[in-house]
Amino acid sequence: MKSPALLVLALLSATVAFAGPPPPKQEGIEGKNYKWNAQEGEKIEALHKKGDVKAGKEAYEVCGACHLPSGAGRPDGTFPQLAGQHSTVLIKQMADIRAGLRDNPTMYPFAMTLTDPQELADASAYIQSLCIPANHGMYEGKDAALQVAKGKDLYEKQCKECHGANGEGNKEKFYPVIAGQHYKYLLRQMSEIREGKRRNANPDMVKVIKPYTDDQLVAISAYQSSLAMPGAMCKGGAKKK
């Protein structure tokens, strides 16, 4: 485990990073040469390495300040639930943030505390190993049943092929688990994808979401958050060892 002094140093380094130069910015989905899942640089290196869960627990400690030690994230949607997410998806997203392909100024300095592709693989392996929290942020409007039903219809028509019948995603194809993710986070991310603000988005997904109205995005987010995330559920709030 990292010593308190090292954790403080990491957090201080992140604070300095906020005040320093902005992260690099690669050409994203708006560019003609954009490739959604180009396997290159540290991303391909990390994907080819075997993640060490024990080492990843140490690497994750600085991430727990926002995503919580359990990986549960925040129900208000500010930070997503990470626990149980596919390691390939985690590697891709962290590598994209580090490379400036996905804009996330809040996470960028923390992602940069991972020193090399091996730490990237280790942290992702640890996060994937975490048990699934029993509770998460769901749609709580008075019309919840109606919204979930509408969202189910949309999901089964256009999302199931990639994200799976139960929102389990696809590890090999880098499609994330979306089942049981916080409703407000899902809504925010899909809104940003529709509006072209998620620069590392899958172009196929952009085409699907682009015509959706705000009400449709609410419905589909409500449905996705209602699904049970695959994996070992936490017992009594404890993490899986």
Quickly state the pLDDT bin for 26 (edges 50, 70, 90): confident
Q: Provide the CA 170 distance to its chain's centre, in angstroms.
A: 14
Quickly state the pLDDT bin for 239 (edges 50, 70, 90): very low
The pLDDT value given to residue 237: 52
- What's domain 144-226's architecture? Orthogonal Bundle (1.10)
Regarding pTM above 0.75, the answer is yes
String of DSSP letters for 112-133: TTS-SHHHHHHHHHHHHHSPBP
CA distance 53 to 76: 28
Which residues are CB-neighbours of 138 under 8 A, at least 6 positions away? Answer: 144, 183, 222, 225, 226
pLDDT digits (tens, 9 = 90+) for 103-159: 999 999 999 999 999 999 999 999 999 999 989 999 999 999 999 999 999 999 999
Exposed, middle or buried by CB within 10 Å (0-12, 13-18, 19+), for 115? exposed
- Which range (54-68, 138-152, 187-201, 224-238) has the least confidence? 224-238
Q: CATH assignment of 4-129?
A: 1.10.760.10
Coil, strand or helix at 21: coil
The pLDDT value given to residue 198: 94
Output 65 or 12, whichever has higher pLDDT. Answer: 65
Domain map (residue ranges) of the chain: 4-129, 144-226
The pLDDT value given to residue 22: 66
CA distance 60 to 72: 13
The pLDDT value given to residue 40: 81
Residue 9: is its pLDDT beyond 50? no
Contact 239, 131 (CB under 8 A): yes
The pLDDT value given to residue 3: 46
Quickly state the pLDDT bin for 238 (edges 50, 70, 90): very low
Quickly state the pLDDT bin for 37 (edges 50, 70, 90): confident
